[in-house]
Amino acid sequence: MHAVFITLALLTVTGISSLISRVGRIPVPLPLIQIGVGAIAALAGLNIGFDPDMFLLLFIPPLLYADAYRMPMREFGELRNIIIMMALGLVVFTTLVCGYFIHWLIPPILLPAAFALAAVMSPTDAVSVGSMIEGGRAPARVVHILHGEALLNDASGLVCFKFAVAAAMTGLFSFQQALGSFIFMSTGGVVIGIACAWAACRAEHMLLVRGYDDPPTHITLAMMLPFGIYLTADALQCSGILAAVAGGMTVKFTGVMNEARTETRLKATTVWDMVNFTFNAVIFLLLGLQLPDLVNGGAAIARAGGVSPWFLILAIGGIQLMMSLIRFAWIWISISARRLFAHFRHRKTVVPSIRTVLLMTVAGTRGAITLAAVLSLPVASLSGPGFPGRDLLVTLAAGVIICSLLLASLAIPPLLHGMSTDEEDPTLHELDMMRIELAQTAIETLHAEQAALAQQELEDLPGHEESLDLKQEAIGRLLHEYQDTVHRLDNSRAAEASIRATAIREKRAELALRFRIIRHMRERLHMRVVQKHINDETEWTINQELDFIEQELQIEARSLPRPDSLHHADHGTAIQPTGERMAGAMPH
């Protein structure tokens, strides 16, 4: 009963935190609001124990699996060298430099323990990175690098942490053993993830070929896959985190989801979006729930050591500052090295601005993995000694997590303000070009149909006049629709800007009207149910049909081009971005 109450309480607080963010329009990132709500809930009496192993098993595999599935494979391949330098080289560099700094700043912390703390704080958090960056105007290249880094650096950070802990507890350390263990854990995790995901995709393909495409069963088994991959890798002493990441990429690469029915794909997307939202929120709520105890513990540690609590706060700020400087320096060194190699090879390379480097620096937030790992440090008990200075390390790590989130929330918005994305993100241009090509394919098909109908009219077949007229009318309607799509999306020099702007305005008006029609249709449908003219089963069926229509319209609304450089033909003002210009068209 206690576990059920905790689950219900967490879900309720999750909904409340999101509601506060939406209704209150607080200019603070949602993760910080969720941490604050969790802290308030803890002060109000909601106490939840934190089991690091259970936390890692329950939350990390599905979230990393989903993030890996959504990672663009082409961009990941193009940026693989940068991502590996950030995910591996930066972690080791941070562990060494920041470890020495922590030992110098707080001498009671032994050097191996300082290395353990630096290692556990070195991985960036994929959840908070996405929450801070997505939806802004960050260049796509930066977003891909940060996501790729966050997906891969957990394994390297945890390996460094593991050996630093062993050195602190036993006084022994072997570089060869550490390197061999890292290679085994990372390579084994990737291989296990690929193998398990490939086997699952083959089984799914065989079921789909035989017609066994039941959406609830398909989605349930797909939801269990990242847990199975993680547990398999963990049982074989490999990295379950990298296994989950490799599994998500493998499932995407096989394209098995494209073989499923449309209904299955739509429902699976909805379920995964819900899981992603809920698990992300619960992670930060759990951090907030631990915060009061961590603050009290930190204050007690300071008093016991005869040190002012303000020194602890200054130490946390100093560690965060040092980690930011290390990250900035590593990014700058990496850029300089790439420029040097490109110069010797006579190749062009993208050189980011100082502003972009600063954005990548402050976006390196810490989160779930750091908290779970530092709380897994051994506690003193009858069975054995605890980790030296455990409570102090936990307090410092929690403080750095909060400090990194605060820094990102304060620095990212001004850094993103006015930053252009179009020149570095080919995705928007590719989307428009592909849609134009598909529309032109449809137009060519319709012209061919018109030619075939004209030939039939020449042959003057009796009894087919009415059928030919109906087909010509249908072709005319479809031609107008696809030609309108081309007019809206074609931003080439050959296209007339006034025609495109007019087509966009017409489409906005049409979509707004369609959304209004659907809203009135729903109202009429509900009224007929209340009047008992139809039953609720009929209402459910028609509502489902309207949902599919509305989803298609919303996709069409989002696909309207983002004409940041396209100006209004009459007034010379830029057309609003997609999200703003469709605000009046969306249903309320």
DSSP for 182-202 reads HHHHHHHHHHHHHHHHHHHHH
Pair of tokens at residue 434: 């592909």
Please give the backbone phi and psi of residue 213, each rounded to the nearest 5 degrees, phi first: -120, 70
Other beta carbons within 10 angstroms of residue 34's beta carbon come to: 27
CA distance 157 to 93: 11
Q: pLDDT, tens digit, for every residue of 140-186?
A: 788 888 888 888 887 788 878 888 888 887 776 677 777 787 788 88
Q: Locate tokens 């039941």: which residue?
A: 214
> Amino acid identity, residue 260?
A
* One-character DSSP codes across 536-561: HHHHHHHHHHHHHHHHHHHHHHHTS-
The reported pTM is: 0.75
Length of the chain: 588
CA distance 450 to 475: 7
Q: Please, are residues 233 and 239 in contact by the beta-carbon 8 Å criterion?
A: yes
Pair of tokens at residue 40: 């308030």
Please give the backbone phi and psi of residue 48, each rounded to the nearest 5 degrees, phi first: -130, 125
Please give the backbone phi and psi of residue 574, each rounded to the nearest 5 degrees, phi first: -70, 140
- β-partners of residue 574 are 567
- β-partners of residue 384 are 381
Please tell me the number of Cα atoms within 13 Å of 414 on its side-chain side.
Answer: 6
Tell me what pLDDT residue 526 has: 83
Digit-by-digit pLDDT tens for the chain (588 residues) are 466 777 787 888 888 877 877 776 666 767 778 888 888 888 888 777 767 778 778 888 888 888 888 887 777 887 888 888 888 889 989 999 999 999 999 888 888 889 999 998 998 876 666 666 655 567 778 888 888 888 888 778 887 888 888 888 777 667 777 778 778 888 999 999 999 999 999 998 888 888 787 888 888 988 999 999 999 999 998 888 889 989 998 998 888 877 777 778 888 888 888 888 888 888 888 888 888 887 787 777 777 767 777 888 899 999 999 999 999 999 988 888 877 777 777 776 667 778 888 888 988 888 777 888 888 887 766 666 778 778 888 889 888 988 988 888 888 888 877 666 544 556 666 667 777 777 788 888 888 887 877 777 666 655 556 667 777 778 887 888 778 777 777 766 555 666 667 777 777 777 777 888 888 888 888 888 888 878 777 777 787 778 888 877 887 787 776 544 444 444 443 333 333 333 333 333
Q: Please, are residues 283 and 48 in contact by the beta-carbon 8 Å criterion?
A: no
Q: Please, which residues have CB within 8 angstroms of residue 546's CB and are 6 or more apart in sequence?
A: 518, 521, 522, 525
Q: Please, are residues 121 and 323 in contact by the beta-carbon 8 Å criterion?
A: yes
DSSP structural state of residue 384:
B
DSSP structural state of residue 380:
P
